[in-house]
Structure 1
């Protein structure tokens, strides 16, 4: 999921929308949290929690990535 989001961040135009399925899975939510905390993506909407299915809508950042090389926020 992490690598998928990396590529989607490059494919989708700035401020674009990424639909993320299986958000109820801890690994999927954890991967998304990196982009939310480190790359300025925004969590637009999350469906109601269900142990079998949940989705989320993420919006990519409109600002260019100008982080210094060592920038990191725990996610």
Structure 2
């Protein structure tokens, strides 16, 4: 009985001090995706700033809209 209690205590200690947990890995993946979204948004924003929107009115407007969504989504994910 004491061995089982010691084993459980040891496992709880390992879990408490473990640097690699499922939650930490998931947060790292989410933050990586958010960072990639921000990089993609910056690239799209740069391309939009160097291309006159008058030449592509509908596509330009949609691209600006979706770029704004990407930036907002990425910032919200990074806050998490």
Bin of the TM-score, shorter chain as denominator length: under 0.3
TM-score normalised over the length of structure 1: 0.28
Higher percent of residues as helix: 2
How high is the TM-score relative to the length of structure 2?
0.26
Q: Which has the larger radius of gyration?
A: 2
